[in-house]
Amino acid sequence: MMVFRAKVSANANEQKDMFHSTESAKERRKARQELERARKEYEASLRALEDEEEKLEGKVAAMILPDYSTGRNDPDIKCQNVSISLDNGRCLLDDAELKFTHRRRYGLVGKNGIGKTTLLKAIAAFQIPDFPRHHRVLHVRQEIRGSETSVLDTVLAADVERNALIAEEKEILARLEQPDTAEGSNSLSEKMAKLKASVEDNDKFAADLKRLDEVYGRLGIIGADNATTRAATILSGLQFSNEMQTGPTSALSGGWRMRVSLAAALFIEPDLLMLDEVSEKLIFIF
């Protein structure tokens, strides 16, 4: 009897050990699966950041060309029914109200990964429903990758409106100065077609002149004529020497590249300026 009991007890202990071993193996497999899932999410997030950096390489801020033909020139911003989600599907804002009052400063504080930058990117990209597009909105990024572009040219390139207007000016002038290469015609139908085309060309010519006048007017408002001098003055005020201004941003440390971002913000003079962790916290200047 004693031997039988010993064997039963031994078998029970063996089964118990096997049960704990099985449970432990399941936990280890579950932990490995969770670790693999976290690793894949991290790698996907890292690739997304790298892709974004490639698109914005050398740029110190994200700004979309405003549309002054939409809405009223109301200096305040108020949006209703705002809903934003993070990349992982987590809800950041649900049926919320977004409001900025002119000349007010706002601070947004929260843990890393809670969605502060996501909110800023959505605002800067005009992805908020009913967000007024007549505002110059500038989002200064957290980190800046250096490039071979000079510091001065980097600041000048930050004002996308100025650059777009200059590019449009060149296109319009090229059309206005394009010589007439049409060949002569003898038939009545060809002469009539050429006459109609001439009238259409005159309409296009008048439209180009009107748009060119609007472009010059806007360039004058944003001070495009003295842009280079103004940018150099701002950089000098941030302790950039002449040699540093003509040198590439890749030669600068992270702290100096952040100063380039601040110089771009001062140069653009946006209606809504969002500084993302520039001074150890997120600051709205509006």
87 neighbors 48 (Cβ within 8 angstroms): yes
User: Which segment, 18-27, 41-50, 73-82, 198-207, is predicted with the most confidence on average?
Assistant: 73-82
The phi and psi torsions of 87 (rounded to 5 degrees) equal: -60, -30
Q: What confidence tier does 127 reach under pLDDT thresholds 50, 70, 90?
A: confident
% of the chain beyond a pLDDT of 90: 13
| Mean pLDDT across 131-160 | 84
At 131 the pLDDT is 87
Alpha helices in the chain (DSSP H): 2-55, 116-124, 151-157, 160-176, 188-221, 227-237, 242-246, 254-268
Whether 257 and 146 have beta carbons less than 8 Å apart is answered as yes
List pLDDT tens digits, range 13-57: 555 555 555 567 777 777 777 777 766 665 555 455 445 444 445
Residue 61 is predicted with a pLDDT of: 66
Q: What band does 11 get if pLDDT is binned at 50, 70 and 90?
A: low
Residue type, 89: G
What is the token pair recorded at 99?
Answer: 């409001």
List all residues 6 or more positions away from 16 whose beta carbon is below 8 Å from its beta carbon: none
